[in-house]
């Protein structure tokens, strides 16, 4: 593997200071535990460990190289940092294995990481020719090439429309199916060339790089990101202690919509219509900390263009609820 340098020099954590400020009421006490569900190269986790010297951070990532790089970056914090190889929808299992019932802070920084974008051989970046992989965990699962070479035109159209919000989805899918009959797709360069030919020039001038939406759609499909996120957000709220806060950075409208829906469900009374009194079990169990979704400042976007599409939502757990299954040995939102 090529030595790509330490994580500190390659990663600028999006909205780091704002996130730390919003998490401070939950993490600024002795003995707190924070989960970074998308550890990446450890920029946000480093901020938590520095700002809150009595907090322990559990860092989850499906990418083994990210765990290795962040481990080097955060080694100075000793056993206050605990890395775990897992997908973030496994948060409840991770905590159960560590003997932790509930946590005080949770952060998810969704989407593709700087590590993955910067590595040409991973196939995430459309500006360099590379194998069409796009797996966040390269030890398992189908690749982007598998999707392009085996999906029907109908399925390709669906994922390009739904995950990429691509106006020319059907036209692209038809061209892919036609081209793969001549030769299977293996590299990103050939796919980019196809997209340049298929997408009208007027649209390219207006919407930026013609491969942006298709690459996003393929990445989401390969890593099952939206289904994983819908499971993860519910599990994360379940393991959040009363008084704990969860912060989510989204970069795609569908991710942000799922976050908004989960937070709104928790912050809304479930009292049936016509019931004169709200029973305790129907009371909201979340409080919205941010008003809508916050965006990075113009200065931050100028310094770090990858932050441009970021949307931040934060919620706080206000009460415990009953266990969701018989396997649970503690109330949701309880204490360790």
Reading the block at residue 185, the tokens are 């797709």
DSSP 286: E
Whole-angstrom distance, CA of residue 173 vs CA of residue 203: 17
Whole-angstrom distance, CA of residue 207 vs CA of residue 17: 31
Whole-angstrom distance, CA of residue 151 vs CA of residue 55: 46
Is 116 flagged in the annotation as binding? yes
∠ CA 78-73-125, rounded to 5°: 145
Residues 6+ apart with CB under 8 A from 24: 51, 52
Whole-angstrom distance, CA of residue 251 vs CA of residue 80: 29
Whole-angstrom distance, CA of residue 208 vs CA of residue 211: 9
207 and 300 Cβ atoms separated by less than 8 Å: no
* Ramachandran bin of 165, using left for φ above 0, alpha for ψ from -120 to 50, beta for the remaining angles: left
Is 44 flagged in the annotation as binding? yes
Report the residue count for the chain: 336
Residues 6+ apart with CB under 8 A from 174: 153
Is 204 flagged in the annotation as binding? no
**Binding site residue list:** 42-44, 61, 88, 109, 116
**Binding site residue list for S-adenosyl-L-methionine:** 42-44, 61, 88, 109, 116
């Amino acid at each position: 593997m090529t030595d790509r340098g330490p994580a500190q020099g390659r990663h600028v954590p999006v909205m780091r200071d704002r996130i730390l400020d919003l998490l401070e009421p939950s993490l600024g006490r002795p003995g707190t535990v924070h989960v970074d569900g998308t550890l990446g190269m450890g920029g946000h986790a480093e901020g938590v460990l520095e700002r809150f010297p009595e907090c322990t951070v559990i860092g989850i990532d499906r990418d083994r190289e990210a765990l290795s790089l962040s481990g080097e970056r955060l080694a100075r914090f000793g056993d206050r940092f605990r890395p775990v190889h897992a997908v973030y929808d496994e948060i409840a299992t991770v905590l159960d294995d560590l003997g932790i019932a509930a946590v005080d802070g949770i952060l998810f920084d969704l989407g593709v990481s700087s590590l993955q974008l910067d590595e040409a051989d991973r196939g995430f970046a459309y500006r360099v020719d590379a194998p069409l992989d796009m797996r966040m965990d390269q030890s398992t699962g189908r690749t982007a090439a598998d999707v392009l070479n085996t999906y029907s035109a109908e399925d390709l159209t669906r994922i390009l429309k739904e995950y990429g919000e691509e106006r020319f989805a059907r036209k692209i899918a038809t061209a892919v199916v036609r081209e793969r009959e001549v030769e299977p797709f293996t590299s990103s360069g050939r796919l980019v060339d196809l997209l340049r030919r298929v997408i009208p020039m007027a649209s390219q001038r207006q919407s930026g790089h013609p491969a942006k939406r298709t690459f996003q759609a393929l990445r989401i499909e390969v890593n099952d990101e939206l289904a994983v996120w819908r499971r993860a957000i519910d599990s994360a709220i379940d393991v959040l202690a009363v008084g704990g806060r969860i912060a989510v950075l989204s970069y795609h409208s569908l991710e942000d919509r799922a976050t908004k829906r989960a937070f709104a469900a928790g912050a809304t009374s479930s009292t049936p219509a016509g019931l004169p009194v709200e029973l305790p079990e129907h009371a909201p169990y979340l409080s919205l900390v941010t008003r809508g979704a916050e965006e990075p400042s113009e200065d931050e976007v100028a310094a770090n263009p990858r932050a441009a599409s970021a949307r931040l939502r934060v919620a706080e757990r206000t009460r415990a609820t009953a266990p969701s299954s018989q396997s649970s040995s503690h109330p949701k939102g309880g204490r360790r």
